[in-house]
Amino acid sequence: MTGTPAGAEAASRATAAGPFDGPAIETHELRKQFGRIVALAGLTMTVRRGEVFGFLGPNGAGKTTAVKLLLGLSRPTGGEGRVLGSPMGDVATRRRIGYLPELFRYQSWMTAREVLALHCELARLDRVSWHGEIVAALALVGLADRSNDRVETFSKGMQQRLGLAVALLGRPELVVLDEPTSALDPVGRQDVREIIGSLRSRSVTVFLNSHLLTEVERVCDRVAIVDRGRVVAELGMAELLDEGGVRVRVSGLTGAASIAGRFGPTRVEGEWLAVDSITDQRVPALVSELVAHGGFVHAVVPARRTLEERFLSLLGAAPDVAPDVTPDVAPDGGPGGEAGVAVGRSSDPGARP
């Protein structure tokens, strides 16, 4: 699907064409409050140009609120932010951004081609470019053979692909994807990963908001983990996963755990010793020490921490937030606001499941 010439052409057309070369997204103490409900408590982060950036957090952490602020769909209560070098919500800048929301609906009676044509018009693309944009986008997301079929005949996964095609119209410099693989099967998820990789290779910035940590781990260069309206960690993927260790299978040695404990926190798991927070450079010394004391080392296996493990440990270390009261009506967000965080991780009437 994504390896077709048409797909490659579509990806190559989505290149960053503007002169701006600073951060793609930059926020400082960005805050959003609905009455007494604090949706964002001071979001500070930087997304470098041309990288794939993962935006992670539990439900109600403020992720959707942050995306709406970045896109100019809602106004901040405080703080500041810039997108592609311009203030958030700048109309000219928004034409350089592709956006795939988590929840969207297209008119069921329209064909895929008609949906894309409508968005070409909404984006004010040059009419002579419409045909090429539509053909390339449909090929890239694997819907070339369904271009004249109505949306009502599409499965949920196919509608997700169509939404992704809409987000890629007009050669965006920044693509914001909100749960882009949530409705896709494993083959579809692999296709999306290939599309994201193609965008990265052409210096298009991808801002990926997702709950699927394994997907983020596979495609992102850096991630920000947000909880209770604040960023609790902003790290490169290699750095985030670096706190690993090794598992050593050793026999014939009493007190092996004590010896291994000199190299890092150690747990005994049957015949195995699990040694945490040990660098690759120190592993040979660990093995030599065990052998020098009479042990027999049968196996040494890397034990890197997964993104899920780091994610959960960081959330567990996040400070609590004082209780607040949910208002009946919140500005900009309707009843209860949107994506708010009132008490730690209390439910938010406006947050999406």
Q: What is the mean pLDDT of the chain?
A: 80
6 Cβ neighbours under 8 A, 6+ residues apart: 135, 136, 139, 140, 144
* HSE of 116, CA atoms in CB hemisphere, 13 A: 33
- The first and second tokens of residue 222, run together, are 């850096």
Which of 7-16, 52-61, 333-342 shows the lowest mean pLDDT across its residues? 333-342
Instruction: Give whole-number Cα distances, 97 to 14, 162, 180, 207, 275, in Å.
Output: 11, 17, 16, 11, 45
- The conformation of residue 4, written as its DSSP 8-state character, comes to S
- DSSP 3-state assignment of 114? helix
Pairwise CA distance, residues 110 & 107, whole Å: 6
> Residue 22 has which token pair?
């600073």
pLDDT at 306: 67
Judge whether 71 and 100 are in contact, CB under 8 Å: no
The answer to whether the CB of 92 falls within 8 A of the CB of 169 is no
pLDDT for 317 equals 56
pLDDT over 90 (residue 48): yes
pLDDT at residue 112, as a whole number: 95
The whole-angstrom separation of Cα 41 and Cα 37 is 10
The angle subtended at Cα 97 by Cα 161 and Cα 135, nearest 5°, is 45
- Taking each helix axis from N to C end, the angle separating 156-167 and 112-122, rounded to the nearest 10 degrees, works out to 30
pLDDT tens profile 76-101: 999 999 999 999 989 999 989 999 98
Say yes or no to pLDDT of 331 above 80.
Answer: no
Segment 5-42, tens digit of pLDDT: 444 444 444 443 445 678 999 999 999 998 888 888 88
By CB atoms closer than 10 A (0-12, 13-18, 19+), residue 29 is middle
Q: Is the pLDDT of residue 350 over 70?
A: no
| Residue 241, pLDDT score | 61
With H, G, I as helix, E, B as strand and everything else as coil, classify residue 287. helix
Beta bridge partners of 176: 99, 207
Q: What is the pLDDT of residues 129-154, one digit of tens each?
A: 999 999 999 998 889 999 999 999 99
User: DSSP assignment of 297-352, as one string?
Assistant: EEEEEE-PPPHHHHHHHHHHHSPP-------SSBTTTBTT-SS-BSSTT---TTS-
- pLDDT of amino acid 243: 61
Q: Pick the residue with more confidence: 342 or 219?
A: 219
Q: Tell the residue number behind the tokens 């699990």, with chain if given.
A: 274
Q: Is 256 a residue whose pLDDT tops 90? A: yes
pLDDT of residue 334: 38
pLDDT of residue 19: 53
Decide which of 234 and 120 is more confident. Answer: 120
pLDDT number for residue 82: 95
Residue 240 is predicted with a pLDDT of: 63
Q: What is the mean pLDDT of residues 237-250?
A: 77
pLDDT of res. 344:
30
Q: What is the pLDDT of residues 181-238, one digit of tens each?
A: 776 788 878 888 888 888 888 889 999 988 778 888 888 999 998 888 888 888 887 7
pLDDT bracket for residue 305 (50, 70, 90): low
Identify the weakest region by mean pLDDT among 18-22, 102-106, 206-210, 247-251. Answer: 18-22
Burial of 346 (0-12, 13-18, 19+ CB in 10 A): middle
- Residue 145 makes CB contacts below 8 A (sequence gap 6+) with none
